[in-house]
Structure formats: C-alpha cells, structure tokens
Structure 1
Amino acid sequence: MTLFETIVLAIVEGLTEFLPVSSTGHLIIATALMGITPTAFVKLFTVAIQLGTILSVVVLYFKRFFRSWAFYFKLLVAFIPAVIFGLLFSDLIDEMLESPMTVAITLVLGGIILLFVDKWFNKPQTDDSDTISYVTALKIGLFQCLAMIPGTSRSGATIVGGMAQKLSRKAAAEFSFFLAVPTMFGATAKKLLDFYKAGNTFTPQEYQVLLIGNIVGFIVAIIAIKSFIGFVTKYGFKAFGWYRILVGGVIIVLLLSGHSLAVI
C-alpha cells in the first residue's frame, strides 16, 4: 500500500465507522477504485485502523468512561451478544463477506429503514445514555448482532436499537459510540491473532502504514463524531438513509455492469 492509499482508506474509515452508512461498503468502493489487491495485510489494515477510531471515542468522552463501574458493566452486557453470535456464525459471516452484492443490498435496505426511523421512534424517554438499564443495554447489544451482515453498519444497527428502546437520537448515538470501544477492540485483537497464526509478520513499511493509518483515522473520527451528533440531533437520519441507498445502488450498478469489487 502506498502512503496515498493508506491516508485515503484511513479517512474513509474515520468518516464512516461511527456514521450509520457502513464502513465496510465504503472501504469496498475505495479499495476497488484504487485497485488495491486485498492481501492479508490489507484485510488486517482495514480492521486494525479501528484502534485509532476507538481512541477518538475515549478522548472525546474521557470523563464518561471514568464515571462509574456500572457504565462498564452495561457495555459488557451489550457486548456479550456480539461475542456469542460471532463465535457461533463466524463461517457464515466470512461467506457473506465474500459477496459484494450482499453488501450492496444490505446498504439499500438499511437506507430504507433510516428514511422512516425518525417517525417510528419519535417519543424518546431517555436523553442520557448513562441511565439506561441493563435490559436495555442487552437489547441494544442484540441489535448490534445485525451488523454481522456486511453492509448493515454497526453504528446504524445500535442507534436504531437504542431509539427502539426509547432513547433520544443523541443518547442512542452516544451509547453506540461507547459500545464501539469493546466491540472494535475485540475485532481488531482477533484479526491480529489470526494474522499471526497464519504465519504472517509485519515489515517495517507495514508498521509505518499502520501507524499513519491510525493517526489519520483518529483525527478524522473526532471530526466525524462531533459533526454527527450535532447533525443527527437537529435533522435526524433521513439524509443518511438516502445516502446509503445511493451508495448501495452504485455498487449494484457496478456489479451488474461486470466490475469486480474486491471485498476486504
């Protein structure tokens, strides 16, 4: 990977990871347009740069992360379903990742849901994500499992899950950010372990690529999170719905016209 490719992919990841638009779908388009071969390192890179985006959440919400032990227990409760489903259906998930059409269709379907989610859940009762119950945390965690279908969007699934539990847009988005920390850390750790188990090692250039990618992803994610909270609180999710439909439609058109999109 070149320095330019590294920066572009890191920007894409930082912008899309916490937005309900599917970072997977965007990374597929970015790698395809730049002609990047999906080597073992490239596949690892697209997951490992999540460490930078994780750090952005911790930095932005530093005080919230050290408020009480109950906060950590709620995140753990919400995180457990993803661990269980991930272990049970890992082979099926890998198969779906090999299908760009699955990603495209899921992007469109998720976009349609976002067009109506503000109308469906328009009577929130909780505006502080720290006050949710353990049962609510578990239900949001179950929604997160839907994101194992490529193209769904982890943040999109958890935000919709939070709003379904009568959280405000802001509270649902913030809890989604918090839940991303253990989820993305776990995914990155597993990917690194699999990388080394396969007998792979990093070259000095690859270490540099990972460092630059995480720094760029960290900076971009901070900007994305700040902008997203303000935008969604004021305008809702309809714009993201139309955007997902557009991106999914582009992928479908490319596939039907004979283009081969390398799934990362």
Structure 2
Amino acid sequence: MSIVEAIIIAIVEGLTEFLPVSSTGHMIIVSSLMGINEDEFTKMFEVCIQLGAILAVVVLYWRKFFNFSKPAFYFKLFLGVLPALILGYLFADQIDALLEKPEVVGLTLFLGGIVLLFVDKWFKNPVIDTDEKMDYFKAIRIGFYQCLAMIPGVSRSAASIIGGMQQKLTRNAAAEFSFFLAVPTMAAVTGYKLLKSHELITSSAENMKLLLIGNAVAFVVAMIAIKFFIDTLKKFGFRIWGYYRIVVGAIILAAYFMGYKLEM
C-alpha cells in the first residue's frame, strides 16, 4: 500500500463512516479497484483507521462524552454496544466470509437504499428529541438494530439510526445517538484488530506511518462529514442517501452478473 492509496481509503472511511451508505462496503470496493484488497495490511488498515473517525465524534461532542455528572449516558452506550460485542464475537468467521462476497455488498446497498426511501414516512411521529429522554430498554434495542451492520453493505449508521427512529427518536436524536454508539462499538473492534495485528503493524516503520496518516486523514474528513450529514438530514431526510445506495448497489450487481471480476 502506497501513501496515496492509504489517503484515498482514509478519505472514503471518513466520508462514509457516519453516513447511511456503508463505509465497509465502500472501502472494500475502492481497495479492490486499486488492486490491494488481497493484502493483509490493507484489510487491517481498513479496520484500524476507524479510530480516527471515532475520535472526530469525541472531539465534536466532547461536552457529552466528558460530562461525568450524567452516568446514565455511559450506561446507555454500554447497553447499546453489548449486542454487537456478543454477536460479533460469536459469528466472527461468518462475518469475515461475507466480506469476500461482492454480490452481498451490492444487494444490501440496493435493498438498504429502498428502505431509506420510506424511512421518513414510516416514522412520522417521534416523541424523543434527546438521548436523555430515552430509557435503557430503547438503548439496547437500538444496539440490536446496529448488529444488522455485520452484513457488509448494510451500514452501521443506517441500521442504528433506523433503530432509533423505530424507538420514537427524532431523526436528529437518532443520528446523534448513532454517532455516540459508534465510539465504543468501533473502539472495541479497532482495539481487537490492533491487538491481533500488532506484529504486522510493528514489522516496519512504513506500516506505522501509513496507519498514522490514515487515522489523521479519516479524523479530519469525518469531522466535515458529520456536520454535512446533520445539515442534509435536517433539509432532505434520508431519501437522497436511499437513491445513492440504489445506484451504487445496482452498478455493483450489474458488474457482478455481467461477469466483471470484482474481488473482495
């Protein structure tokens, strides 16, 4: 992996991690097009640069994360992340196998796009406009929705936001709780990957440099993307992202069924 390739993948991660379009699916596609998807370092890199993206959430919402006078917030995050930790551990091998199937990414992007076209109509009467008004049972239910993102192409952001709206949160409240929930979820995944791959990371100074650059780029881009997403969500809802997913998913499926080789 070159520095340019690392920056490109990090930009994709920062742009898509908090949008309802699947960052994993996009990184898989981009690394495949660049011909580096088979490399073990690339696979590790795509997971570990999530650390930069989640740091953007902590910085943007630092008052929320460091307000220790409200412990209920941290307990809700714990309950919300618990299903993903348990199911991710139990089905790790099956999840890795799905990551290698381009038709799965294409199909889930396409179907998820159709869902996003109707989300705003399905959940018209929200009653909870902040996470403080949300009880613990709702937090864990949203956590189960988040588990749908273990299927590549589903999007962790989309799954958890839809879960929040199904639990009567407003679009903005659901989106913000999705951002908050990303921090412990992705920190756990990234930490586990770093521990498993520490020999690969420390095997060369170049690998460590690429990881630092990747995380820095993902951090900056994610800061911009989060603000952009909140603004577009207020103005347009989810339809714009639904159309985007349908187009991208259709292109991947068409390429796959026409016999174009897209190795993942």
TM-score, structure 2 normalization: 0.96
After superposition, the C-alpha distances for 1:70-98 in whole angstroms (9 at most, x for unaligned) are 11110000010011111221222122112
1:161/1:188 CA distance change after superposition, 3 Å = same
Partner of 2:60: 60
Partner of 1:223: 224
After superposition, the C-alpha distances for 1:195-251 in whole angstroms (9 at most, x for unaligned) are 247x77431111110011111100000000001011102210001001011111111
After superposition, the C-alpha distances for 1:35-74 in whole angstroms (9 at most, x for unaligned) are 2242111101001000100100000000011222111110
**Corresponding letter in the other structure for 2:210:** V
Aligned with 1:244: secondary structure?
Answer: helix
Mapped partners of 1:254, 1:193: distance in 2: 36
> What is the root-mean-square deviation in Å for CA atoms of aligned residues?
1.3
After superposition, the C-alpha distances for 1:141-185 in whole angstroms (9 at most, x for unaligned) are 010011111110000000000000110100000000000001101
Partner of 1:40: 40
Alignment of 1:1-264 (within 5 A): 1-67=1-67, 68-196=70-198, 201-263=202-264
Mapped partners of 1:241, 1:232: distance in 2: 12
In the TM superposition, residue 189 of structure 1 has moved relative to its aligned partner by: 1.3
In the alignment, structure 1 segments of 5+ residues that lack a partner are none
Any conservation in 1 of the 2:21–2:109 contact (CA below 8 Å)?
Answer: yes
Mapped partners of 1:228, 1:124: distance in 2: 20
**Corresponding letter in the other structure for 2:188:** G
Any conservation in 2 of the 1:40–1:195 contact (CA below 8 Å)?
Answer: no
Mapped partners of 1:244, 1:202: distance in 2: 38
- How many corresponding residue pairs? 262
**Corresponding letter in the other structure for 2:109:** L
Any conservation in 1 of the 2:37–2:43 contact (CA below 8 Å)?
Answer: no
**Corresponding letter in the other structure for 1:145:** C
TM-score, structure 1 normalization: 0.96
In the alignment, structure 2 segments of 5+ residues that lack a partner are none
Any conservation in 1 of the 2:202–2:208 contact (CA below 8 Å)?
Answer: no
Moved more, 221-230 or 96-105: 96-105
Aligned with 1:63: secondary structure?
Answer: helix
